Amino acid sequence: MNRNIVESYRKKLAAESGYLVDRGAGLRIALCYPNTHSIGMANLGLHTMYELFNGIPGVSCERVFLPDPHELKEYEKSRMPLLTLETQTPVRDFDIVAFSISFETDYLNMARMLQLSGIPVWAKDRNHFHPLVVMGGAASFLNPEPIAEFTDIVAVGEGEILAYQLIDAILENETKEEILLSLARVGRGFYVPSFYDVIYNDDGTVFDYLPNQEDVPLRIGRAVAAVNPKEGTLRRALKRGEDDLADFLINQDVFCPSTSIWSPGAEMGDRLLVEISRGCSQGCRFCWAGYNYYPPRVVPAKDILAKAAEWRSKTDKIGLVSTAVCDHPEISTILSELRAMNYRISVSSLRLDQISDELLDALVESNDQQIAVAPETGSDRLRRVINKNLTNDEIVDICGAVFDRGMLTIKLYMMVGLPTETQEDLDEIFVLVERIKDRMLEAGKRFGRAGRIIPSLNGFVPKPNTPLQWDAICDEKELKKRIKYVCKGLSRIPNVDVRFMSARIAHEQALFSSGDRTVAKVIDRAAQLDGDIDRALRETGVDVAFQTSRDRNYDEFLPWSIVDSGLSFEFLKTEHEKAREARSSLPCPAVEKCTTCGVCPTTWLADAPESLIQIQPAAIRTALGHAV
């Protein structure tokens, strides 16, 4: 046992509270976050799965992180296998090694952690003495294919609904083969990659996935968690004064995903993080989070506030996690009650169209966060392409409302290389930033100081299960040229500090988010080469341009189609065609009986277990004593 590593882990534990240790549990899970402790502890998915697994009788779950650089040196020097944080037990001694992966950029770290653990990276090289390797998290239902062959089971969907089913199957079956078969046959939520052979066309595109076991589904449906009432239904009930229905929805006993371990040394570790809603109704065509978490759902205010009250003695900081904070029908109550508890409020993201005076006031009062907004691009036309339905005039007005409250520094998220982008679109970025800067200086005069405008440029990366999934990423050289052009133009504007992501990184992201199974060998090799993806590509001969830089036609079987997100092909195709014509679409209404995108009829209402009754209109009426 390397003393320096153990020391380092114990030091981290000494600064934390709320973690659990049960060495005698029958089933032990090593919950792995494929990044460092500091980054991982800011991930609500990790907190949620830790709490869920440890809440199951007979199960003990410990955390594992990618070692910090100084720990990594010790691991390499001592050749000691990777240890869990809580009890410093080798990860390979656990029954289950469960990865929670939110970002495809962490795939390399997943392979690295398996290598460090002494567990064969490829599922085919493992036997029944090895732990079961499970992958979950957002990346699992976006496109698990680049790491499918590393994984025994991919949990396709949201952890709140899948954790119990996974544990039941493991406890109820004897052998690894039986466990895998019973999960694969559930039909929704569990993908066993080894049960599917990938058939390729002569040109290298995927022809289809063929099951090699009986009674496993052709496609694996995404499991949608049974957490909350639909936001639209609740909002409408409140608006119409349907108190019985609103009470019924609000008083559901729901799981409120939040910080479960207090870890002040980690990023965001000094605050309570609470997920207040999941999914976003706006349908921005580039946004994976919006489409892959349909339908939008909310956690009732009472559950959020109860959690906040419970944690108030520990901290005065709270982070509201949501893609659409102000879409919450009870946001006024939430903000006013949190302010009454003297919480300093921050939010995970601010959607420009939904910034309210109330929220801005709460953020100013908290003085805890630099405001970041996302105009995405400088042209109204291109914003219609991506279905972000705001004009430059509106954006300047919204930024003005921020500046008028004395918050004079603002970060602007922008994308370069969007489909149909022209030279004029790029030039309009300069005009928009110049206008925002002028508005900031005007407000700054009243406060006697000037702030900064910080545009942050990212290359557009097409994401699976979005309407732009058929588009190629902009050619690397061309993307580099455009980013350089925009950076140069922006750097000439006073009071502007531009930041950017390199075209190279955008292309690596595209490879991991849209690649097929052949990408696995690049990941494995790059992990062995300390992250050298260029060399791994050369050695494996994988053609990046084929995986990322070609438009895909509607007939192509997309590698991620093995997972059925619930979004219908027709819906995505129509949205893609509308993007090409710069035509916008209405937001998801989040009400019952809607069939627009296909998610509600196929995942949400189709085979809902009993715990989902709150969102089934018929069941709601029955529960309320109304005629069905």
What residues make contact with ligand SF4 under the rule CB under 6 A? 294-295, 588-590, 594-597, 599-600
Which lies closer to ligand SF4 via its Cβ, residue 295 or residue 319? Answer: 295
Determine phi and psi for 208, rounding to 5 degrees: -175, 170
Which lies closer to ligand SF4 via its Cβ, residue 432 or residue 590? Answer: 590
The two structure tokens encoding residue 102: 């939110």
Which lies closer to ligand SF4 via its Cβ, residue 574 or residue 596? Answer: 596
d(CA 193, CA 151): 7
Which lies closer to ligand SF4 via its Cβ, residue 491 or residue 595? Answer: 595
Cβ 2 to ligand SF4 shortest distance, Å = 50
**Look-up: residue for tokens 């830790």?**
50
Cβ 240 to ligand SF4 shortest distance, Å = 18
Cβ 599 to ligand SF4 shortest distance, Å = 4
Which lies closer to ligand SF4 via its Cβ, residue 212 or residue 595? Answer: 595
d(CA 277, CA 301): 10
Residue type, 379: S
For Cα atoms 40, 466, 157, give the angle at the middle one, nearest 5 degrees: 50
Cβ 236 to ligand SF4 shortest distance, Å = 12
d(CA 189, CA 144): 13
Q: With contact defined as beta carbons under 8 Å apart, do 28 and 41 qualify?
A: no
Q: What are the C-alpha distances in Å from 341 to residues 270, 273, 325, 332?
A: 17, 16, 19, 14
Which lies closer to ligand SF4 via its Cβ, residue 297 or residue 517? Answer: 297
Q: With contact defined as beta carbons under 8 Å apart, do 170 and 181 qualify?
A: no
Which lies closer to ligand SF4 via its Cβ, residue 370 or residue 595? Answer: 595
DSSP labels, 454-503: EEEEEE----TTSTTTTSPPP-HHHHHHHHHHHHHHHHTSTTB--EE--H
Q: Are strands 499-500 and 453-459 parallel, antiparallel or unpaired?
A: parallel
Helix (H, G, I), strand (E, B) or coil at 296: coil
Cβ 145 to ligand SF4 shortest distance, Å = 24
Within 8 A by CB and 6+ apart from 625, the residues are: none
Which lies closer to ligand SF4 via its Cβ, residue 324 or residue 335? Answer: 324
Q: Nearest-CA neighbor of 614 among 208, 306, 300, 360?
A: 300
Which lies closer to ligand SF4 via its Cβ, residue 188 or residue 271? Answer: 188
Rounded to 10 deg, the angle between the 520-528 and 107-117 helix axes is 60
Cβ 446 to ligand SF4 shortest distance, Å = 43
Cβ 33 to ligand SF4 shortest distance, Å = 29
Q: Judge residue 230's burial from the number of C-beta atoms within 10 Å of its C-beta, 0-12 exposed, 13-18 middle, 19 or more buried.
A: buried
**Look-up: residue for tokens 């949501």?**
322
Which lies closer to ligand SF4 via its Cβ, residue 195 or residue 293? Answer: 293
Which lies closer to ligand SF4 via its Cβ, residue 50 or residue 291? Answer: 291
Which lies closer to ligand SF4 via its Cβ, residue 416 or residue 597? Answer: 597
Helix (H, G, I), strand (E, B) or coil at 64: strand
Q: Nearest-CA neighbor of 353 among 315, 398, 312, 383?
A: 398
d(CA 143, CA 123): 18
Cβ 154 to ligand SF4 shortest distance, Å = 23
Q: Nearest-CA neighbor of 347 among 375, 329, 371?
A: 371
Cβ 59 to ligand SF4 shortest distance, Å = 33
Q: With contact defined as beta carbons under 8 Å apart, do 369 and 347 qualify?
A: yes
Cβ 557 to ligand SF4 shortest distance, Å = 23
Helix (H, G, I), strand (E, B) or coil at 370: coil
Output the 3-class SS for 161-181: HHHHHHHHHHHHCCCHHHHHH
Which lies closer to ligand SF4 via its Cβ, residue 527 or residue 567? Answer: 567
Cβ 293 to ligand SF4 shortest distance, Å = 10
Cβ 593 to ligand SF4 shortest distance, Å = 9
Cβ 573 to ligand SF4 shortest distance, Å = 15
